[in-house]
């Protein structure tokens, strides 16, 4: 405990000195809002007269060096009462080296040439309200709408983009309708936060127009001055999405299921979603890993109802105590209702309730007040009622305040199940500057703290932890990036008995040759037993997800017993259409466990694909085959053989038809 405190004090003193040195070093850029009466044609060509009168954002910056990019970029922005228009001119001294691979809308583009337009219409100066619109050099689109949206194109938002290759690079045009965004009802002109970003594949550098530093500080985004957004009357307020699924399963016979989703946006700030008899059975879930863990493992959410507005229901950060609300605790329901959005530029709301049968109910409510870059506070509550679950209630408050490069935070939560309840208290001090993050945390979780809607890793513990991370990108030489972190913790049970004490350190180095090498070491005691483990990692083709491979090995002792763990994987694109991926895990500990996941997909075009997944785990095998015609506007069609989420293969065939109105 004493060692953790001494190190934290030293970091705090060092932080005070660097805070003074860094004060005033960074500032936001500005660009005026210009309303057009002659919007450009979205064809990727920048020859429209509208662009000649558009303000220009130029001199893009490398956030790690603060220097202008060698191959510069110009960005243009206009708007009218229906949409925002954005253009990029990406100069490239080696245009033949432009990288563009992905054709499927909604995909990520690691290692590709892309441009991104970011916007926070509320000018909140935090990440919660920022939406991002990304286009690669093939014109493939992706978007990350503030708060989170489901996958159906009509619900995510329909926007346009087009690209052109030119002799010295490539050009992009975007048209983003206002109705895609959540934005304030402003009386007159207002300011909005925006930024323009270019990912340059050949140099593997991300350039920004307004320098947000390697920490990606939202308060340093550019300022779009004098915008007059349209009134809410211009917005489509009611949308429907239905599905019909006839299916046959061995032993269960035939069944026809149907459901309805309704999305209502009474204002540009608020969204309501009603889901009746949703289909979760045919949604591929993430597969839980088998790596060593003393607590339950976190598994990502994939179900559309919970993905819609997901960020409004983040009650607690995933580290520390864990997640007070873990949506996978709600497995099936007959009806679900949620309302989320911004009441004004500072106040946001998220309310969710699900119902199953006559008595089973789960509800979550979250109210957040933001002070922008200076911090904010939250109040939240959860309840669960029903025949299958003990009665559960939880409520709490949390907040944080920033002073320069320091942030002080805390939370207090009470949770009970049936007649048993307890409190958790958490206090933290974080320090963050470019390339460095350091955080000191004290917390206490009572033995009787019960959060049945959450993922709480351990109860009955109290003590200190300290985490620090270093991340730097290097522009010359064999090494491209260095990442290192150290985590110390010292916890006892609430009665003072020893619980856990240890230190973990890791180092990862990415080479300019596109290899990544990593090592790690951990020494700890847990409930009187001892851990001493070592990790080594090697990955190749880091920036190309269609040719990646990697392997990792952990060895040593856990709980005074020998442990060996091997993890490996590779992905490969063949014939320009066929994607193959294999991931494997082998654990040798108290019991021997093996897991292998094979995925295969043939992309006919950007909307149609034939895919399969096989999971072999501990002697059990499950596989399924699916045809997809989805991702565009209108009807989606899926044909599925097998059950995507069963433990063993199930003789089953299902047809799923989805349409939006």
In-domain check, residue 71: yes
pLDDT at 4 over 50: no
Residue 97's pLDDT is what?
95
Give the range of the structural domain holding residue 81, as residue numbers without chain letter.
27-230
Residue 558 DSSP one-character state: E
| Mean local confidence (pLDDT), 40-44 | 95
pLDDT at 12 over 70: no
Instruction: Please report where in the chains the tokens 């220009």 appear, as a residue.
Output: 56
Q: What DSSP assignment string belongs to 592-652?
A: EEEEEEEEEEEESSSSEEEEEEEEEETTEEEEEEEEEE-SSSS-EEEEEES-TT-SS---E
pLDDT at 578 over 90: yes
Residue 396 DSSP one-character state: E
Q: Which has the higher per-residue pLDDT, 373 or 81?
A: 81
In-domain check, residue 551: no
CB 520 within 8 A of CB 488: no
CB 114 within 8 A of CB 136: yes
Q: Where is average pLDDT lowest: 18-32, 56-70, 528-542, 587-601?
A: 18-32
Rounded-to-integer distance, Cα 69 and Cα 71, Å: 5
Q: Where is average pLDDT lowest: 197-206, 518-527, 551-560, 623-632?
A: 623-632
Residue 23's pLDDT is what?
42
List of residues 6+ apart from 103 with CB closer than 8 A: 138, 140, 603, 605, 606
pTM: 0.87
In-domain check, residue 564: no
In-domain check, residue 161: yes
Rounded-to-integer distance, Cα 661 and Cα 572, Å: 38
Q: Where is average pLDDT lowest: 207-211, 243-247, 296-300?
A: 296-300
pLDDT at 258 over 70: yes
Residue 184's pLDDT is what?
85
Residue 284's pLDDT is what?
82
pLDDT one-digit tens code per residue, 525-568:
999 999 999 999 999 999 998 999 999 999 999 999 999 999 99
Share of the chain above pLDDT 70, in %: 95
In-domain check, residue 116: yes
Rounded-to-integer distance, Cα 26 and Cα 206, Å: 18
In-domain check, residue 612: no
Phi first, then psi, for residue 600 (nearest 5°) are -135, 135
pLDDT one-digit tens code per residue, 391-400:
889 999 999 9
pLDDT at 24 over 50: no
Phi first, then psi, for residue 599 (nearest 5°) are -125, 140
Sort strands 406-417 and 608-617 into parallel, antiparallel or unpaired: unpaired
pLDDT at 358 over 90: no
CB 439 within 8 A of CB 466: yes
* 43: CATH: 2.60.40.1190
In-domain check, residue 257: no
pLDDT one-digit tens code per residue, 589-625:
988 999 999 999 999 988 899 999 999 999 999 999 9
Q: Which has the higher per-residue pLDDT, 166 or 25?
A: 166
In-domain check, residue 166: yes
Residue 236's pLDDT is what?
60
341: nearest Cα among 273, 271, 275, 274: 271
Helix H or strand E encompassing 414: strand 406-417
Domain count, the chain: 1
Helix H or strand E encompassing 2: helix 2-22
**Mean model confidence pLDDT for the chain:** 91
- Partners of residue 537 on adjacent β-strands: 518, 552
If one counts every other C-beta atom within 10 angstroms of the C-beta of residue 353, the result is 16
Rounded-to-integer distance, Cα 563 and Cα 587, Å: 8
Rounded-to-integer distance, Cα 301 and Cα 259, Å: 20
Q: Residues 533-565, buried b or exposed e (16+ Cβ, 10 A)?
A: bebebebbbbbbbbbbebebebebebbeeebeb
């Amino acid at each position: 405990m004493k060692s953790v405190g001494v190190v934290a004090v030293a970091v705090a003193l060092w932080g005070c000195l660097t805070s003074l040195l860094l004060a005033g070093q960074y500032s936001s850029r500005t660009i005026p809002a210009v309303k057009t009466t002659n919007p450009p044609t979205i064809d990727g060509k920048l020859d429209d007269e509208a662009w000649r009168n558009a303000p220009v954002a130029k001199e893009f910056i490398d956030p790690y060096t603060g220097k202008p990019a060698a191959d510069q970029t110009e960005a243009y922005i206009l708007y009218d009462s229906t949409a925002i228009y954005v253009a990029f001119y990406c100069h490239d001294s080696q245009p033949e080296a432009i990288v563009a691979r992905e054709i499927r809308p909604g995909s990520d583009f690691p290692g590709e040439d892309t441009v991104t337009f970011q916007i926070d219409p509320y000018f909140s100066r935090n990440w919660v309200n920022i939406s991002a619109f990304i286009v690669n050099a093939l014109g493939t689109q992706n978007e990350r709408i503030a708060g989170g949206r489901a996958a159906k194109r009509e619900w995510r938002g329909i926007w346009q983009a087009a690209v052109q290759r030119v002799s010295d690079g490539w050009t992009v045009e975007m048209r983003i309708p206002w109705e895609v965004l959540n934005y304030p009802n402003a009386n007159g002109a207002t300011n909005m936060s925006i930024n323009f970003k270019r990912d340059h594949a050949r140099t593997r550098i991300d350039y920004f127009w307004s320098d947000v530093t390697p920490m990606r500080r939202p308060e340093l985004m550019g300022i779009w001055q004098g915008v007059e957004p349209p009134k809410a009357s211009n917005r489509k307020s009611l949308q429907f999405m239905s599905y019909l699924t006839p299916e046959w399963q061995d032993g269960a016979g035939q069944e026809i299921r149907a459901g309805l989703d309704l999305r209502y946006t009474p204002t540009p700030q608020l969204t309501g979603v009603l889901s009746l008899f949703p289909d979760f059975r045919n949604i591929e879930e993430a597969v839980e890993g088998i790596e060593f863990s003393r607590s339950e493992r976190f598994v990502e959410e994939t179900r559309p109802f919970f993905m819609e507005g997901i960020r409004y229901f983040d009650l607690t950060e995933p580290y520390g105590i864990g997640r007070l609300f873990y949506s996978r605790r709600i497995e099936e329901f007959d009806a679900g209702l949620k309302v989320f959005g911004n009441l004004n530029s500072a106040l946001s709301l998220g309310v969710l309730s699900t119902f199953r049968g006559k008595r089973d109910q789960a509800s979550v409510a979250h109210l957040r007040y933001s002070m922008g870059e200076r911090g904010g506070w939250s109040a939240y509550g959860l309840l669960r009622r029903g025949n299958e679950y003990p009665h559960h209630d939880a409520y709490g408050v949390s907040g944080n305040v920033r002073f320069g490069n320091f942030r002080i935070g805390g939370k207090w939560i009470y949770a009970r199940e049936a007649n048993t309840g307890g409190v958790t208290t958490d206090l933290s001090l974080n320090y963050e500057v470019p390339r460095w993050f350091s955080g000191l945390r004290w917390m206490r979780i009572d033995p009787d703290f019960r959060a049945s809607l959450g993922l709480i890793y351990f109860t009955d513990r109290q003590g200190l932890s300290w985490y620090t991370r270093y991340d730097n990108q290097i522009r010359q030489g064999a090494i491209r990036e260095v990442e290192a972190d150290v985590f110390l913790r010292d916890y006892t049970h609430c009665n003072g008995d020893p619980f856990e004490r240890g230190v973990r350190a890791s180092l990862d180095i990415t080479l300019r040759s596109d290899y990544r090498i990593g090592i790690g070491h951990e020494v700890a005691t847990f409930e009187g037993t001892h851990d001493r483990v070592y990790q080594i990692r090697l990955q190749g083709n880091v920036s190309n997800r269609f040719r990646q491979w990697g392997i990792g090995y952990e060895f040593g002792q856990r709980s005074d017993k020998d442990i060996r763990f091997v993890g490996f994987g590779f992905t490969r694109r063949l014939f320009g259409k066929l994607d193959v991926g294999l991931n494997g895990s082998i654990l040798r500990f108290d019991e021997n466990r093996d897991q292998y996941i094979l995925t295969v997909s043939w992309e006919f075009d950007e909307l149609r694909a034939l895919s399969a997944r096989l999971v072999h785990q501990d002697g059990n095998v499950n596989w399924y085959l699916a045809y997809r015609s989805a991702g565009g506007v209108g009807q989606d069609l899926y044909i599925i053989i097998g059950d995507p989420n069963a433990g063993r293969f199930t003789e089953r065939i299902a047809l799923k038809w989805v349409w939006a109105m």
